[in-house]
Amino acid sequence: MSKWLTALAISGILTAGILSIWVGTEGGLAWTAESARRLEIRRQPLLLDNYPLQSTKGGESTLVNNSKSLQIVDFIYTSCPDVCLAMGAEFRDLQTVLSEFDPANRVQLVSLTFDQENDSIEQLQGYLEAFGAIGARWSAAKFSKSEDLHSVLDELGVVVIPNEPHGFVHNAAFYLVVSDSVVGIFNIDDTSQLIEEVKWHLSQLGAS
């Protein structure tokens, strides 16, 4: 094969490879499965089932909030020594920011535990108190049925891996829920973008 044909063949292979990456990453926008999932949820919000919960607000509640309000949800466990503490601190700060433009508490913060065996309602309440949670704004809950928890974790791509005796290894994000659907997933260090999204959705719902 001549040098010209060899160069042409290599160029063709490189072009095909770049095209494959471009298509596989949705135009180069999604380099990971997580990024691709977040993009897909932005394009097509994820409808949630109305799973029953046991909440620190007392009695049974449900995952889906059908009133015209928003929820910012995170997944934690109360004995977590690291990332959950960071999420709790971010939620604590979000309370202050939200109070400035949402005095009616239409935006709710909800911490859901994935440690079904060890996290009681009393422990969840202690977690909230440790971060100065305002009851009207921030609640915590556990799923009434373990199978429902696993379904939601799978739907949202929440990775939870038991790591005995140290608890769990897990990823961390904030999930913006409007009525009955997840409309956005945000890094825990990107609350500024989250707040902008919240304001926009409130405006769509007719809130000031």
Return the CATH architecture of domain 41-204.
3-Layer(aba) Sandwich (3.40)
**Is the separation of the CB atoms in 142 and 53 below 8 Å?**
yes
Rounded Cα–Cα distance for residues 173 and 197 (Å):
15
Q: What one-character DSSP code corresponds to residue 129? A: H
71 beta partners: 108, 177
pLDDT at 148: 95
Pairing label, strands 107-113, 138-143: parallel
pLDDT at 66: 56
With a CB cutoff of 8 Å and minimum separation 6, the contacts of 85 are none
pLDDT at 67: 64
- Digits of tens for pLDDT over the chain (208 positions)? 554 444 434 344 334 433 333 333 344 443 466 777 788 888 899 999 889 999 998 877 888 765 658 999 999 999 998 889 999 999 999 999 999 999 999 999 999 999 999 999 999 999 999 999 998 999 999 999 999 999 999 998 888 888 777 778 888 899 999 988 999 999 998 899 999 999 999 998 874 4
pLDDT at 161: 86
Domain assignments of the chain as residue spans, ordered by start: 3-31, 41-204
Q: Residue 178 is which amino acid?
A: V
70 beta partners: 107, 178
pLDDT at 97: 96
Rounded Cα–Cα distance for residues 133 and 95 (Å):
8
Query: Which candidate, 135, 148, 195, places its Cα nearest to that of 53?
Result: 148
Rounded Cα–Cα distance for residues 69 and 208 (Å):
13
Rounded Cα–Cα distance for residues 46 and 54 (Å):
23
